[in-house]
Amino acid sequence: MTRRACFALKTPEVRAGMERLVFQQGSLRRDGEVPPAPGFLWLDFSHDEVAEDPEAWRADVHAAVGEWIFEEHAIDALNLQHPSYFDDTSSYDMIVFRKLAVPRAEGSFADTGPLGDQTGRGLTLGALQTRPITFFLFDHALVTVRSSESRTIDQFKQRLFAIVGKKDMTGNGAATGNRLPARPDELMLRLINTLVDSYLALRQPLTERLDHWQRELLAPGRAFSNWRALLDARIELRKLEALSEEQYDALQEYRDSVLDSPACAERESVLVRINDVMEHIHRVLNHARRLEQTVESAVQLNFSAQAQRTNRIVQILTVVTVIIAPLNLMAGLYGMNFEHIPGAKHPDGFWIMLGAMAAVTVVLLAFFSAKRYIDRSRR
């Protein structure tokens, strides 16, 4: 929903052969002419196509939608490190939204999409990567610039054509439970919501991985040693938190722009969709914060457990030392090199000394047991 969305749509000339999707009155087709109101265009480009000749790309967009994209915004669309961002002009709104990607075996990156790895076996915290997708929202068109390897966009297009197919079969689009987007802003928000769902899909594998590390941290009888992996996990969770905050701020600015637009019937519907997408992003943000707090709590519990084990070992050693100390004293006294030692010449002196040492040991054990020193050590 832009500031111009309540105005009449234009029908500029278009360059023949340009690939595009045309939405018009509940129908969807490829490579059609610019539709009259209330139809609109979706022009989808890859970073490689735009980088090959940015000026020709801007000219193609101008031929299709009748408006020029600023050169600075074209540069932003090609910046793979650009954070999530919102900007508006008198002709269009621009939103940069970072989508989730994971590395392939050969080292390239592919968009996970909403159907990404749900098991947690093929996805590690250290493998989380993102790629930007740039939306240019016009009155009667949506232009997207994204990675050429993105599967989310392709799957989204397949779902759109599946909706058209079901409508053709049933004769009623509402009967399928879905409908095609009626405006460019609705299409953009559906796409963003699909991208956010891929982040929501990470909750289960991330939780399982961190639960595994918590069990490793608190495992009795062995010390945790994989501190580097745990540190990498905390770094990735903080990156996910910062990413979610950037996405939330970008949509918040877009929402403020919509609120500043002239009141019309479609504005409330757009605001509802924006709030829904922002709520999904907020769930991702809260989950990342909870996981980070969980890791921090597990680390603190690990240190507490280590301190408790150390105290227990010291306590046991102290009890053993206190028991052995009087026995060493008695052995030392009767081991002195004196000519006359009481009891040294007694025929049962050895057994008397052993009995005395055993008695002292029993008395000390009874004393420590009464003080619960030994019981605490066992626990």
State the pLDDT at residue 375: 60
State the pLDDT at residue 2: 47
> Which token pair is 331?
């052995």
Handedness of CA 314, 319, 322, 326 (dihedral sign): negative
Helix (H, G, I), strand (E, B) or coil at 100: strand
State the pLDDT at residue 173: 46
Cα torsion through 207, 211, 217, 221, rounded to 10: -170
Give the strand pairing for 85-88 and 27-30.
unpaired
Is the domain of 48 the same as that of 178? Answer: yes
Is the domain of 314 the same as that of 288? Answer: no
Asked if residue 80 is part of any domain, the answer here is yes
For the chain, list residues with pLDDT below 70: 1-19, 31-38, 102-127, 167-178, 221, 375-379
Is the domain of 343 the same as that of 296? Answer: no
Q: Please give the Cα distance from 367 to 327 (Å, whole number).
A: 16
Counting Cα atoms < 13 Å in the Cβ hemisphere of 346 gives: 11
Name the DSSP letter for residue 262: P
Is the domain of 162 the same as that of 205? Answer: yes
Counting Cα atoms < 13 Å in the Cβ hemisphere of 146 gives: 27
State the pLDDT at residue 172: 52
Handedness of CA 354, 358, 364, 367 (dihedral sign): negative
State the pLDDT at residue 126: 52
Is the domain of 224 the same as that of 329? Answer: no
Beta carbons within 8 Å of 212's beta carbon, 6+ residues apart: none
State the pLDDT at residue 209: 78
Is the domain of 231 the same as that of 144? Answer: yes
Asked if residue 8 is part of any domain, the answer here is no
Is the domain of 128 the same as that of 231? Answer: yes
State the pLDDT at residue 239: 85
State the pLDDT at residue 256: 92
Question: Which residue range forms the structural domain that includes residue 327?
Answer: 310-378
Alpha helix positions (H), the chain: 47-52, 54-65, 71-78, 151-170, 184-200, 203-217, 227-259, 265-333, 349-370, 373-378
Domain count across the chain: 2
Q: Please give the Cα distance from 269 to 285 (Å, whole number).
A: 24
Q: Please give the Cα distance from 354 to 144 (Å, whole number).
A: 91
Is the domain of 196 the same as that of 182? Answer: yes
**CATH number of residue 355's parent domain:** 1.20.58.340
Distance of CA 265 to the CA centre of its chain: 36
| DSSP labels, 125-180 | GGG-EEEEEEEEE-SSEEEEEE-TT-HHHHHHHHHHHHHHHHHHHHS-GGGGT---
Asked if residue 351 is part of any domain, the answer here is yes
- The Cβ of residue 173 has, within 10 Å, a number of other Cβ atoms equal to 17
Q: Which of 248, 269, 304 is the last residue of a domain?
A: 304
> Which token pair is 33?
């002419």
Q: Please give the Cα distance from 129 to 98 (Å, whole number).
A: 10
State the pLDDT at residue 36: 57
Q: Which of 257, 277, 304 is the last residue of a domain?
A: 304
- Burial tier of 95 (Cβ tally within 10 Å: 0-12, 13-18, 19+): buried
Is the domain of 137 the same as that of 225? Answer: yes
Asked if residue 15 is part of any domain, the answer here is no
For 27, 130, 164, 201, the CA distances from 182, given in Å and listed in that order, are 10, 29, 13, 27
**CATH number of residue 224's parent domain:** 3.30.460.20
Is the domain of 47 the same as that of 117? Answer: yes
The CA-CA-CA angle for residues 182, 188, 190, to 5°, reads 80
Asked if residue 13 is part of any domain, the answer here is no
Is the domain of 165 the same as that of 278? Answer: yes
Q: Which of 304, 323, 358 is the last residue of a domain?
A: 304
Is the domain of 360 the same as that of 228? Answer: no
Asked if residue 340 is part of any domain, the answer here is yes
State the pLDDT at residue 138: 93
